[in-house]
Structure formats: structure tokens, C-alpha cells
Structure 1
């Protein structure tokens, strides 16, 4: 399954909408996404599953790249 992760680049940053970044991560469930990203120092705001029509829509974005993190 693919998840869309909303995050700030630094865990010390206060979440501000204008500074929020997104990435796509392949995992089986949300907890696995958070575990995979734990050592990167991101301030993860929200993890959202991307399925069906939403996934098709996101694939149209030129920045759509799925990270496969072990």
C-alpha cells in the first residue's frame, strides 16, 4: 500500500502549513511508515493511505515518486 506522508524537515520545527512537505512511502500499514522514517529526524504531521481514485489522481502529479525504504 502507498501512504502520503505530510512532514516538516526538522523535528524541532513548529508545523506551519506553508512549510509542510509531502512524500510517498510504500508500506503495509501506518506504523511501518513511521518506523521506517523514525531515524530521518522528520516531524511527521500526518500519514494518509492513498488508494483507488486518490492514487490515480496523485500519480498525475509530476512529483509523484514512491520511496521504498527497508
Structure 2
């Protein structure tokens, strides 16, 4: 399953919408994705699974790439 992860690059940074970034990660569950991203020390705000029409929409955007962890 593919998850979209919203995060801040610095772990101690307060979440501010203007600095929020997102990546796509393949994993079995939200916990699995968080475990895979733990070494990067991101301040993860939200992890959401994407599928169906939402996944198709994200794939149609030019910036869609799934991180290989």
C-alpha cells in the first residue's frame, strides 16, 4: 500500500503549513511507514493511505515518486 506522509524536515520544528513537505512511501501499515522513516528524524504530522481515484490523481501530478526505504 502507498502512504502519503506530511512532515517537517527538522524534528524539533513546530509544524507550520508553509514548511510542510510530503513524500510517498510504500508500506504495510502506518506504523510500518513511521518505523521506516524513523532514521530520517522527520517531525511527521500525518500519514494517510492513498488508493483508487486519490492515488490516480497523485500519480497524474509530475512530482509523484515513491520513496524506496
TM-score range, shorter chain: over 0.9
1:1-70 equivalences under 5 Å are: 1-69=1-69
Structure 2 length-normalised TM: 0.98
Q: What's the secondary structure of 1:63's corresponding residue?
A: coil
RMSD: 0.5
How far is the alpha carbon of 1:68 from its aligned partner?
A: 1.8
> Structure 1: 5+ residue runs without aligned partners?
none
Structure 1 length-normalised TM: 0.96
Number of residue pairs matched?
69
Runs of 4+ residues deviating >4 angstroms = none
Q: What's the secondary structure of 1:14's corresponding residue?
A: coil
